[in-house]
Amino acid sequence: MKTIITYGTFDLFHVGHINLLKRLSELGDRLVVGCSTDSFNSLKGKTTVYPYEQRKALLEACRYVDNVFPEENWEQKRADITREKATLFVMGDDWAGKFDNLSDLVEVFYIPRTPDISSTEVKTYLKVRDEEKTVEIKNLLSRAIELLES
């Protein structure tokens, strides 16, 4: 039984996450995912739209994922790998080189990210849309006031 382990925040679950999880599940028999908790994210200076329980529920509903556990700090990975009997540790290549120190315990490698999508990008897109809508509403209100005054 070959177990693969990976970690991430997985906010606003998107196709980049699905592609990664699908590819990882094809590398072995069992895929386990450490999902960053809200308190670990705030330590990293990261805020999420969905709280941990919802991000975890989305991961658990994904057919490629066999088990989800909380990622609460940077130091837990060795204990997780041992507990889960993982033989392969894989992350997207935005993390390339960052976890090579685990290679005495597990095979470590990084796979290419899906281009042009990230949770941050979705949040930026929604923020821009929100700002555009605000400007549009302000313009409509100004026009209405002008009409009422004339």
- Pick between residue 16 and residue 56 the one whose CB is nearest to ligand CTP: 16
Question: Is 98 among the residues known to form the active site?
Answer: no
List CB contacts of 71: < 8 A, sequence separation 6 or more: 7, 34, 35, 36, 37, 40
Residues contributing to the site for ligand CTP (CB under 6 A): 8-11, 16-17, 20, 91-92, 94, 113-114, 117-120
Instruction: Write down the least CB distance from residue 83 to ligand CTP, Å.
Output: 20
- Pick between residue 94 and residue 136 the one whose CB is nearest to ligand CTP: 94
- Taking CB atoms, the residue at the shortest distance from ligand CTP is 92
What are the residue ranges of helices labelled H in 76-118? 77-84
Instruction: Write down the least CB distance from residue 103 to ligand CTP, Å.
Output: 17
Q: Are strands 3-8 and 107-111 parallel, antiparallel or unpaired?
A: unpaired
The active-site residue, picked from 2, 22, 44, 85, is 44
Amino acid sitting at position 95: W
Question: Is 46 among the residues known to form the active site?
Answer: yes
Question: In 3D, which of 4, 5, 12 has the Cα closest to residue 55?
Answer: 12
Q: Which residues are catalytic?
A: 44, 46
